[in-house]
Amino acid sequence: MATLTASSFHSKVVTNAPPGLNAIYATFNAGNSTVSQGDVILLAKIPARCKVIEFIEDHTSPASVAAAFDFGLPAADLGANSVGATSAIATALAKGTVNRANVTKRLPIQVNSTANDREYSIVKALYKSVTGTVSTVIRATIIIEPNNDQDVG
């Protein structure tokens, strides 16, 4: 079990998200590296006290591998909304299609990352398939909205 990082993960966290909907984009490309069962991919940082409104993703892998991923947030950042940290957003999403998490009825999710003295939470992908694979690519768009009752910045 390895922890991998999307190229966009190290981007600066938006600590003062403007009112309304905001998009965060994440891209992961494994290239020739093998992604194995149980590997975690850090995709994006979500500002504290925001709601995840929508999660849209698609991923690819070689035709011989039915790569499936769970997407979620750390359990400590979910509070009462927790439905399983690694699958809080979506579970067992199949490759080769655009997956939208709002159809799972799990969104919106309030991110409560201030309990950990951080200004952000982390959206993670967990590789669920038994067969390891190379050439995995994940593209995700995370739509967030600042909590109107609290200062986000």
DSSP assignment of 96-120: SS-EEGGGGT---EE--GGGGT-SE
Say whether pLDDT at 80 is over 60.
no
Phi, psi at residue 75, to the nearest 5°?
A: -55, -40
* Domain covering 3-146 in this structure, CATH number: 2.60.120
pTM value?
A: 0.79
Question: Which CA distances in Å does 73 have to 19, 34, 41, 66, 126?
Answer: 22, 23, 11, 23, 11
User: Lowest-confidence range among 14-18, 68-72, 81-85, 90-94?
Assistant: 81-85
- What's the CA gap between 134 and 35, in Å, rounded? 6
Q: Has residue 106 got a pLDDT over 70?
A: no
Q: What pLDDT is attached to residue 19?
A: 82
